[in-house]
Amino acid sequence: MWRHPALRPFAREHFAALMAVRDVRWAAQSGRTELVDRANRGLARAWQLDLAAHFEREDRFLRPLLTSAEQDELDAQHADLRAQFGQLVAAAVPDPDLALHCAVALHDHVRWEESVLFESLQARCGGSELAQALAGSDRAPD
Ligand SMILES: [Fe+2]
Ligand SMILES: [Fe+2]
């Protein structure tokens, strides 16, 4: 699906998130403890290194452009995921059931953003409005 250039950094990070999700699912299906542990650690690391900041940038840059119903849904999903990933990264060894739960929730969240939220934004906002509102959204704050 076509993405406005201003949304592409978010979309690229979604792709990376879905790769981490895929690894967790494959590892769980394999039933091999070492693969499960490696994939689950990878998901926890992805949260700490990339996804937590990704969520913050969405809240800061994307949220103001959303309808009030979309904001409520984004807030609810982000709060739920932050709580789940907070538990995941707090453990010395990621809990396999929790990691799988986090992976499924993250997958569903990314799919919702891509298929509903981004489509809605692109349909409702002009290209220059998106570019202006999202300028700087692809990097960490100074
Ligand atoms: Fe998000
Ligand atoms: Fe996202």
Kindly list the structural domains of the chain, giving each domain's residue range(s) and its CATH number in brackets, ordered by start.
5-133 (1.20.120.520)
Nearest ligand, CA 13: 2
Percent of the chain exceeding pLDDT 90 equals 84
Q: Mean pLDDT: which of 16-25, 87-96, 119-128 is highest?
A: 16-25
Tell me the C-alpha distance between 77 and 84, whole Å: 11
Q: Residue 31: what residue type?
A: G
* pLDDT tier, 43 (very low <50, low <70, confident <90, very high otherwise): very high
Distance between first and last Cα of the chain: 32
Rounded to the nearest whole angstrom, what is the distance from the C-alpha of residue 27 to the centroid of ligand 2?
23
Cα–Cα distance list, 11 to 17, 26, 99, 133, 138 (Å): 10, 22, 22, 16, 11
Global pTM reads: 0.94
Q: How far is the CA of 18 from the centre of ligand 2 (A)?
A: 11
Return the ∠ at Cα 49 (arms to 43 and 54), rounded to 5°: 95
**pLDDT at residue 18 is higher than 90:** yes
pLDDT the model gives residue 138: 82
Proximal ligand: closest to the CA of 105: 1
Instruction: Supply the pLDDT for residue 126.
Output: 85
- Which ligand minimizes its atom distance to the CA of 73? 1
Burial 95-126 (b: 16+ CB within 10 A, else e): ebebbbebbebbbebbeebbeebbeebbeebe
